[in-house]
Amino acid sequence: MYEFTLEQFATQTCNQNRDIIKDLEATLHYYENVAQVDDDHERAETLKSMKIKLQSIVASLSMKVQGKCIGG
């Protein structure tokens, strides 16, 4: 498992032409709008759970990184 300090995360999020927060938001979009459930109740519950967890992670990281981007 990878562990980053907030400063390392902010640097990775804001540099190298890659925005990790946007990548996570794209994944969240998939869970909310693209993933097919069909009639699979277990899959529906898994997607719902993942969506809720990811929403929390994105919100938390966005608040922590805000204003900490180097050169941003």
Percent of the chain with pLDDT over 90: 29
Residue 48 inside a domain? The answer is yes
Residue 1 inside a domain? The answer is no
Query: Helices 41-65 and 20-29: crossing angle, nearest 10°?
Result: 160
d(CA 72, CA 8): 14
Residue 26 inside a domain? The answer is yes
Residue 32 inside a domain? The answer is yes
Give residue 22's domain range. Answer: 7-65
| Counted domains in the chain | 1
d(CA 65, CA 40): 37
d(CA 58, CA 24): 7
Residue 14 inside a domain? The answer is yes
pTM over 0.85: no
Residue 22 inside a domain? The answer is yes
Q: What is the mean pLDDT of residues 52-64?
A: 85
Residue 30 inside a domain? The answer is yes
